[in-house]
Amino acid sequence: MANDRKRATLEALEAGMKFVWNEVIKMASRGYSSTELGVMAKTRLATIHRDIEAEAARLDEGGITDSDSDEIADRGAYILNEEKADAVYGHFRTLVKSGARGLAITRTHPADVTKRFQLGKVESIWLSRTPGKAGAGVAVADPSNLVSVAGAVIAFLEAGGNAAVVLEGLEYLVSLNGFSSVLRFVQTLNEKVVVNDSYLLISANAGAMKEQEYNLLAKEMAGEL
């Protein structure tokens, strides 16, 4: 019991710290001045107690306590600004648990991602330029060939709808292919996601991209997570 409480406390602390720093990254990437950031931070601090009280009431009513249980209300494409793909997999796992067919497009080897985030049985595509190191049964796509990557995603979407696709490292694709190509790539996937009643979750590090480029990508989305 003591170990369970310790693990739960540490997991809650980790989730809280990740949330705080993701919020800082989001605000900083939008070009606010130091004064504006200070005002927003003080406002957030002043309302924390209300958020805690609301969460406590929800838990008393039997609400779900899983830290990655946030529901995405509408189908479509969403972007999440984070330095390293992490929280996006929590959202993805929730969708898969709810019955969506899962496809993970990763920069990290799929076996490592599946194990770390406990994704269960999902399909995956490893973005790698060294396919010989992929291993048996691992689908590999050249990250500089966006047409091929898009084709694989579209095939998955059209295989039955109700799909959840997660894509990590969008800034990596921009560095290889240029922003215009990646924007068209995202627009194409977004259209197919909507037509096939599915989800697209994109993890991107806004700090590694031009502010204008990230904002243009965000405008293509149904929302930011």
Indicate the average pLDDT of the chain: 81
DSSP H/E element including 167 = strand 163-167
pLDDT of 125 > 60? The answer is yes
Q: Give the pLDDT confidence score for residue 31 in this predicted structure.
A: 62
Tell me the CA distances in angstroms from 69 to 63, 65, 168, 172, one per residue in order: 10, 8, 20, 28
For the residues 85-98, what does the mean pLDDT come to? Answer: 93
In this prediction, what percent of the chain has a pLDDT beyond 70? 66
- CA–CA dist 223, 50 (Å, integer): 25
Instruction: State whether CATH 3.40.640.10 applies to domain 76-224.
Output: no
